Amino acid sequence: MKKTGLLNSEISAIISQMGHTESMAIGDCGLPIPKETKRIDLALIKDIPTFIGTLKAVLTELQIEEVELAKETMEVSPDLYEEIKKEIGNVKITLITHEELKCKLKECKAVIRTGEQTPYANIILKSGVVF
C-alpha cells in the first residue's frame, strides 16, 4: 500500500506518465467528457469530492507550469476563481471560453470528474518539469 501521496491508482498512473506540456483536467460533475478522453470518475454525491479538494490532491504530485480556465469561471464563480489562484500560486493562467475548454478536453490525457456543483468549476492543468 502507498504510504503517502495520492491513493487513487488511476490518477497516480496518469501523473506518472505525463510529460512536459501534456495536460489533464479536473471538472465539475456536469462537464461533458469526450468519449476519446480517459474519464476518472470520483463523483459520489453533490460536492463530494469537491473541486478544490481534488485540485489540492493532484497538485501534491503534479508539477504544473500553466492552467487554462474558462473566462466564465472568473465572471460567474469569482470566489472559486480566487481559490484556484491561491492553490496554484504564481502559475500562469490562460483564460479561454468554456466552449474552447470543452474542445481542449480531447487533448487531455484524462479528465477527473468530481462531485462539484459550482458553475464552471473546471480546469486544464499543463504539466511542467521539476528541473
Which CATH number fits the domain that encloses residue 15?
A: 3.40.1650.10
Residues belonging to the active site: 20
Total number of domains in the chain: 1
Secondary structure class of 41 (helix, strand, coil)? strand
Beta-carbon contacts of 96 under 8 Å, excluding residues fewer than 6 positions away, are: 68, 69, 70, 71, 104
Assess whether pLDDT exceeds 90 at residue 105: yes
Assess whether pLDDT exceeds 90 at residue 9: yes
Give domain status of residue 21, yes or no.
yes
Assess whether pLDDT exceeds 90 at residue 1: no
Give domain status of residue 3, yes or no.
no
Digit-coded pLDDT (tens) for 45-73: 999 999 999 999 999 999 999 999 999 99
Give domain status of residue 110, yes or no.
yes
90 labelled binding-site residue: no
Q: Quick one: pLDDT at residue 3?
A: 80
121 labelled binding-site residue: yes
Residues of the domain holding 96: 9-127
Give domain status of residue 42, yes or no.
yes
CB atoms within 10 A of CB 82: 11
Mean model confidence pLDDT for the chain: 97
Dihedral angle of Cα 86, 128, 111, 122, to the nearest 10 degrees: 30
98 labelled binding-site residue: yes
The residue with greater pLDDT, 36 or 4, is 36
For the record, the C-alpha cell of 100 comes out as 474552447
Q: Quick one: pLDDT at residue 4?
A: 83
